[in-house]
């Protein structure tokens, strides 16, 4: 037995042809997994602006990756050429949220696992990651932060500071100008009252007050 025989028996046997039914089942399974990722992303998203197009791309990413892996495993020669072709691809879209990048990797990895015919492992991964994402989403909701932006006359600074102390707020920024004072206060969702903004605007000398959701980088 020479090297050619070993190559044919051991290596090429891994690229055995797959029946059309298995192709269809794999693609249907990848779509189902993509839909699960789509649903989890939609339900757990807490960023600045939800993008339906990005979420739809997660389904297509799972499906397309599965197709690529199936194509690679079907032909050893084509697989070598495809690796070289894919290496020159460059993505120009900037992913600002690290969580979005995590979902992209999730979709790609599921496509790779399904394309490798590891269906049970893919199902286990989807279940575990889904549960983890839901738990982390619930945890982040309980620790949600808000910013209260108040514009007022300098003469009522003491009253504003007293109101801030009542909600255990943290002053993140205070700007004093000729037209008045602007104070940005950070508070937790379990510390702020729903009527706090309405209450603070009733103080004589307060020009305006706004409550915005804060995720650490952007205000919503």
pLDDT at 158: 84
Integer Cα distance of 94 and 25 in angstroms: 34
pLDDT at 130: 93
pLDDT tens digits, 60-87: 999 998 988 887 776 665 655 566 555 5
- Contacts of 17-24 with C-beta under 8 Å, sequence gap 24+, read 17/74, 18/70, 18/74, 22/117, 23/70
pLDDT at 6: 46
Average pLDDT along the chain: 77
* Three-state DSSP state, 213: strand
pLDDT at 218: 44
pLDDT at 142: 55
pLDDT at 140: 65
Q: Are 13 and 5 in contact (CB under 8 A)?
A: no
Spans of the chain below 70 pLDDT = 1-18, 47-48, 74-96, 140-144, 189-194, 214-220
The domains of the chain, with CATH numbers, are: 3-142 (no CATH), 145-214 (3.30.70.260)
Q: How is residue 147 annotated by DSSP?
A: E
Integer Cα distance of 210 and 151 in angstroms: 9
pLDDT at 67: 87
Angle at 60 between CA 86 and CA 35, to 5 degrees: 140
Cα–Cα separations (whole angstroms), residue 196 to 157, 158, 174: 16, 17, 19
pTM higher than 0.85: no
């Amino acid at each position: 037995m020479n090297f050619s025989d070993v190559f044919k028996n051991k290596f090429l046997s891994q690229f055995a042809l797959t029946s059309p039914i298995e192709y269809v089942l794999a693609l249907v399974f990848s779509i189902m997994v993509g839909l699960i990722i789509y649903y989890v992303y939609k339900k757990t998203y807490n960023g600045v602006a939800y993008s339906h197009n990005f979420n739809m791309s997660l389904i297509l990413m799972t499906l397309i990756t599965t197709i690529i892996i199936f194509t690679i495993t079907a032909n050893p020669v084509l697989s070598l050429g495809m690796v070289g072709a894919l290496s020159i691809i460059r993505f120009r879209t900037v992913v600002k949220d690290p969580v979005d990048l995590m979902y992209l990797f999730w979709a790609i990895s599921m496509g790779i696992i399904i394309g490798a015919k590891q269906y049970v492992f893919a199902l286990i991964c989807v279940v575990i990651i889904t549960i983890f994402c839901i738990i982390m989403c619930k945890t982040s909701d309980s620790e949600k932060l808000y910013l209260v932006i108040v514009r007022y006359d300098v003469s009522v600074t003491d009253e504003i500071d007293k109101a801030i102390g009542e909600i255990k707020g943290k002053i993140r920024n205070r700007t004093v100008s000729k037209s008045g004072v602007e104070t940005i206060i950070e508070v937790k969702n379990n510390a702020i009252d729903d009527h706090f903004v309405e209450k603070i605007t009733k103080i004589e000398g307060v020009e305006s007050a706004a409550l915005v959701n804060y995720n650490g980088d952007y205000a919503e």
